[in-house]
Amino acid sequence: KTHTAVLIPGDGIGPEVTEAVLKVLKAVEAPVEFHPHLAGLTAMEKHGDVLPESTLDAIREDKLALKGPCTTPVGKGFTSVNVQLRQKLDLYAAVRPVRSLPGVPTRFENVDLVIFRENTEGLYAGVENDIVPGVVTSMKIVTEKASTRIARRAFEYVQKRGRRRVTAFHKANIMKKSDGLFLRCAQDVHDAEFPDVEYDTFIIDAGCMRLVQDPTNFDVLLMENFYGDIVSDLAAGLVGGLGVVPGANIGEDTAIFEAVHGSAPDIAGKGIANPLALLMSAVMMLNHVHATQDDEACKTAASRIKQAYNQALADGEKTGDIGGKLGTMGFADAVIARL
């Protein structure tokens, strides 16, 4: 069976890494047909809208998308395409596995974290107001509904995958009501539904300190939107950087797969961006299709790609950001050669 998915190449390095990933998917004969749609600056230029309704409708129809990064201009009145997509499609769980890779030397060897970031509210609700000249507010919205469902996702994941523990990062000592509610929901989900899964909490600043001191002490991390954004990049730094960390934005029946990194304007157009983060996101997509539709061909394609990129890295075939010499397509070809 051939599955259909929307493809959003995105801005900056987006089209480059997308092309590389498509080449690998084609080589492995992944049973997915892509429908290209625009979002981001390219959509703005063509349709006068960073997130055209036609793109949203296409994702609603396919319920699956692979997405490159989209630039959000600072201070020009745009709401981030990424935040909009997640909110409009209610993709409430950002799932970001952060793992050590063969041939990518870093301070710690056995990092294996999965970040569960609430993806629809918190400080990214986008409710900002000018109060009087020189004074603005930014509202942090926390609901029991969103906090409960993201906590449930994290605990379910630990249980299904046979992992160890959920750790919630928070600042409920200061933000007693908002983070307090988030924390109470996580505790309630634990007590009522997953009493046998280990659960603990860290005040986020101290948690970050412990994370960089020894990430191997952590397993699954649960946090609200803003903290999750920052901690994802921090955690990426522990395993080789933004070029190697994939992600999924998952709702009830729709999912968008994209790397944690942005459009990297500093290296865009040079053919040197690492396509691995998006390739890993594509592997997550294939595994997601396998898990939700029981398609063995997707599982096979996913594991072949994973095995091939691990082999490429172990052979020293890698891009500049992680200490190699290859460009974007050079790495894709090295993976293809090992399929």
If the CB atoms of residues 158 and 313 are measured against ligand NAI, the closer one turns out to be: 313
Q: Which of 11, 62, 229, 333 binds Mg ion (CB under 5 A)?
A: 229
**CB of 276: closest distance to ligand NAI in angstroms?**
7
The partner in contact with residue 229, picked from Mg ion, ligand NAI, none with C-beta cut-offs of 5 to 8 angstroms by kind, is Mg ion
Quote the least distance from Cβ 177 to Mg ion, whole Å. Answer: 25
Q: Directed axis angle between helix 225-239 and helix 204-213, to 10°?
A: 10
Residue 33 burial (CB count, 10 A): 11
User: Catalytic one among 1, 76, 196, 205?
Assistant: 205
Q: Judged by CB, which is closer to ligand NAI: 69, or 207?
A: 69
CA–CA separation, 119 and 301 (whole Å): 28
Q: Are 10 and 67 in contact (CB under 8 A)?
A: yes
Contacts of 189 (CB under 8 A, 6+ apart): 148, 151, 152, 155
Query: In 106-255, where does DSSP find H-type helix?
Result: 144-160, 178-193, 204-213, 225-239
Place of tokens 């009493």: 195
User: Would you give the DSSP letter of residue 29?
Assistant: T
Can 205 be counted among the known catalytic residues?
yes
In this complex, which beta carbon is closest to ligand NAI, that of residue 147 or of residue 249? 249
Give residue number: closest CB to ligand NAI. 262
Would you say 124 or 199 has its CB closer to ligand NAI? 124
> Which stretches of the chain bind ligand NAI, using CB under 6 A?
13, 17, 69-72, 82, 242-243, 258, 261-267, 273-274, 277, 321
DSSP letter (8 states) at residue 319: B
Stretch that binds Mg ion, among 31-39, 228-236, 263-271, 316-324 (CB under 5 A): 228-236
Which residue(s) pair with 168 in the sheet?
Answer: 201, 222
Closest distance to ligand NAI from the beta carbon of 294 (Å): 29
